[in-house]
Structure 1
Amino acid sequence: MKSKVLDIAWKIFSDSIYIPVFKIKFEKQYHNFEIASIEDTISKIKSDNVSVSRFGDGEFKWMSMARQDSFEKNSTKMSIRLKEVLQNEKKHHINCLPQAFKDTKTMSANKYWEREMGIHGKEWLSYLDKNVQYYNTSITRPYIDFKNKNEHTSVFNQFKTVWEDKDVLIVEGFDTKFGMGNDLLNNTKSIHRIECPSKNAFESYDYILKESKIAIDVLKPQIVLAAIGPTATILSYDLANYNGVQAIDIGHLDIEYEWFLKKTNKRIAVPGKFVNEVAQQITSENKFDDDIYEKQIFKKINGD
C-alpha cells in the first residue's frame, strides 16, 4: 500500500514538474530531427528492402541504464551495442525513433511521453544527430498509442505485403508466438522460428546471433522478423543484408494487431501470448494449434 501511494505521489510530482520542463526546454529540440511518418517508413521498408531497428523509450533507457521495471535487465554491453546501432549508418538498414519525438499531440499516452522526455531530455537528445534521416518506430505500434485508433491501421495490411510469398524466419521469445491465431502471416510461403528466452534474452545474444545465421544459411529465408525487445534492435542491425536477408525488428506488431481485431481501447491480455504491458502477462488458454507452432520451430535457445 505504501509503495502504491509513493508511486501516485511521484506521478503527480513528475507531471507537474517534468511536463513543463519538456515543453519549455526540450520540445523544439526534439522537433529538429528528421523523423519520417509512419506511412513513409513502411513505404521505405517495402520499396528498398531495408532492415529495421526501432528505438522506443525502453531502448533509450537501456542505453542510459536508467532504472525501469522490465523484461530485460541493464547491462553495459547492451548499452554500448544499442548506441552503436543508433549512431552508425549501415547500408540497407534504417533506424527508427518514437512518434512522440516527432509530436505528442496525436498520441493517447502524450502525458507519459512528455514527462519522460522532460526527465531524460538532455541525455536522450545527446544520442541523436540532426543530420541523419530517421524513420518511425510506431510502424509496429500503429493502433493502441494513438487517439484516433483508425488513423494508421492500414499499416497492418501494408506489412502483409512485405512478407507475401516469402520464406520467413521469426526470432522471438518463448511465449511470443508471433502471428499465431490470426491472419497476419497467412500469405507467407513458409515460416520457421527460433525460440529465445522471454526475459533477459540479451544475455544469450552471441548464441542467438550465431543460431540466426545458421538458420539463414540453411533455410534461405528472405525475411527475418525479430521480436525479442532490445535484442531484436541489435540483431536486425547485425543481420542487415546477411545472405541478402531483410531483418525487421517487428516488436509489438502482432499484439497490436490482436488489439486492433478486438477493437479494444486499452491494453489487454491475449490468450496464449506474452504481453509485457499487462498485469497477467501470459494466460494459460490459447486459440491456436500448438502442433502447427511446434513444427515451425527450427531451434530453441534456453539461455545461458
Structure 2
Amino acid sequence: MNKMLIFLKKNKITQSILTCSRVIYFLPYKFYVRKLGLKIASPEESVQMIISDRLSVARFGDGEFNLAFRHRGIGFQEYNNGLAKQLLEVMMGSKKSAVAVALPHGYCNTSEDRFKTKVFWWSYVVRNQSYIRRFQNSVGKQKILDTNFTRVITELKNKDKILLIIENIKGIWKNKSILIVEGSGTQFGIGNDLLVKAAHISRIIAPAENAYTKINEIRQEINGFINSQQSLEDVVVLIALGPTATVLAYEFGEIVQTIDIGHFDLQYEYLVNGSYDRIKLNNRYDNEMINGASFLPSQNKKYQSEIIALIN
C-alpha cells in the first residue's frame, strides 16, 4: 500500500490533477500571507547575503515542518522524535549571528514562480498557516533567507535569472576548500562543473535514507575534518542530507560556514540534461522520482579519492 501511495504521489497525472485542484486556494493564500507578514529574501538576495556575510544556512521546507509539527516522516527520513525535537530547537535558538534560517519564499510571495509551484504553495500555506505562525513566533523578526535558492531551476519562470543565481551559488565555494557531507548516491558535483572552481574537495558519505540515525558518527567525522584544518577562513561545509542537514548546519554554522545545500546538485543535473523539470537520472539518488533510489554508483577515481569517511 505504501508503495502504491508513493507512486500516486509522484505520478505525473496525479500531479497535474493536484495542480489544477489547488487553484481554489489562491484567495485564502493572499489572506494568510498578509496576516502572517513574513519577510523572506528572494533567491538571488539570499545567495548574495550568504556570500557577502559568510552566512551559514539551516533550511526549513515542508519536509522539516512535517517532522517538527505534524510528527510525520518523509520519503527518505522516517519520523524520529529526537530529530523533531532538534528541528524545534534550531527554530528556538535560531538567533545565532552567523547562522541564517531559511523558509520557502512561497510563504510570502509566488510572483516569480512557475504555475505548478505557485499553486503548491497557495495550498500549503493555507493548510499549514498555524505551523508557519509557530515558526515565526520562534525566530522573531530576524531576516529569513529563501530555502528554495537551491531549487530555482524547476521553480522559477525567468531562465536568465535562474542562470545568474546558479553562477552566484558557485561563488560560495570559489577558491575554497570544501567538505561535502552527502547521502550515498548524491554524488554532488560529479559529472558536472559545479565544483571546478573549488580549491580542494573532501567528502563524508552518509546513508541516503534515515541519515539522522547516524548523526553522532557524522558529527564526529565533521569535527575531525574541522580539527585537521589550519584555518577555517577559506573552508565551506556543504551538507545534502535532508532534515539532518538542517540540524548539522545549525550546530556547526558558527564554527565554519556551513550550508544546507539540499537538492541543488540534482537540480543542476536536470539542467545539464536539458530540462527545467525533474527527470529521471541514472547517476543520482533522487527521492522525488519514481524508482529514484535506483542509480549507477560513480566509478570516478577523483570522486573516490575525495572520500575521507564512509558511514553505513
| Coarse TM-score class (shorter-chain normalised) | 0.7 to 0.9
For residue 123 of structure 2, what is the aligned residue in structure 1?
Answer: 115
Q: What is aligned with 2:277?
A: 266
Flag the 1:165–1:11 CA change in 2: closer, same or farther, 3 A: closer
| 1:204-244 deviation digits (Å, cap 9, x = unpaired) | 112211211112212456110000001111101100132xx
Secondary structure in structure 1 of the residue aligned to 2:155: coil
**Structure 1 residue aligned with 2:163:** 153
46, 53, 71: which one aligns with 1:41: 46
Larger CA deviation: 44-53 vs 84-93? 84-93
Q: Report SS of the residue matched to 1:153.
A: helix
- Secondary structure of the 1:142 match is helix
Task: Tell me by how many angstroms 1:263 deviates.
Answer: 3.3
| Contact 1:270–1:283 under 8 Å retained in 2 | no
1:81/1:234 contact within 8 Å kept = yes
Q: Quick one: distance in 1 between partners of 2:77 and 2:46?
A: 27
1:86-126 per-residue CA deviation (whole Å, 9 max, x = no partner) reads 23211211011101012123322211221122222212221
Question: Which moved further from structure 2: 205-214 or 100-109?
Answer: 100-109
1-structure distance, mates of 2:173, 2:196: 10
Contact between 2:33 and 2:108, CA under 8 Å: does it hold in 1?
Answer: no
**Which residue does the alignment assign to 1:225?**
238
Structure 1: stretches of 5+ with no match in the other structure: none
Q: 1:284 to 1:17 in 2, by over 3 A?
A: closer
How much does 1:285 deviate?
A: 4.3
From 29, 35, 38, the counterpart of 1:22: 29
Give 1:183 deviation, angstroms. Answer: 0.5
Give 1:76's match in structure 2, choosing from 78, 81, 93. Answer: 81
- Is contact 1:65–1:75 with CA below 8 Å preserved after alignment? no
Between the aligned partners of 1:38 and 1:17, the Cα distance in structure 2 is: 26
What residue identity is the alignment partner of 1:225?
L
What do the CA deviations read for 1:124-146 (whole angstroms, capped 9, x no partner)?
A: 22121452211111211111012
- Which residue, 87, 90, 97 being the options, matches 1:91? 97
Identity %: 31
Give the superposition deviation at 1:3. 6.3
8 Å Cα contact 1:22/1:115 also seen in 2: yes
Change in CA separation of 1:17 and 1:102 when aligned onto 2, cut-off 3 Å: closer
> Is 1:186 aligned to 2:196, yes or no?
yes
> AA paired with 2:265?
D
Q: Note closer, same or farther for the CA distance 1:289–1:132 as it changes in structure 2 (3 Å cut).
A: same
The TM-score, its normalising length taken from structure 2, stands at 0.86
CA deviation map 1:149-176 (0-9, x unaligned): 4333212111222211111100000110
- Mind listing any 5+ residue stretches in structure 2 that lack a counterpart? none
Q: Which amino acid aligns with 2:215?
A: Y
The answer to whether the 8 A contact 1:18-1:119 is kept is no
Distance 1:97 1:76, change over 3 A: same
Question: What's the C-alpha RMSD, in Å, of the aligned pairs?
Answer: 2.7
**Is residue 175 of structure 1 aligned with residue 181 of structure 2?**
no
What letter is aligned with 1:49? R
Letter in 2 for 1:229: G
Distance 1:76 1:35 in 2: 28
Query: 1:68: Cα distance to partner?
Result: 5.3
Letter in 2 for 1:94: A
Which secondary structure does the structure 2 equivalent of 1:172 belong to?
strand
Residue in structure 2 matching 1:276, options 263, 278, 287? 287
| SS of residue matched to 1:168 | strand
Structure 1 length-normalised TM: 0.88
Is contact 2:29-2:123 (8 Å) kept? yes
Out of 249, 253, 256, the residue aligned to residue 240 of structure 1 is 253
The count of corresponding residues between Structure 1 and Structure 2 is 296
The code of the aligned residue for 1:123 comes to Y
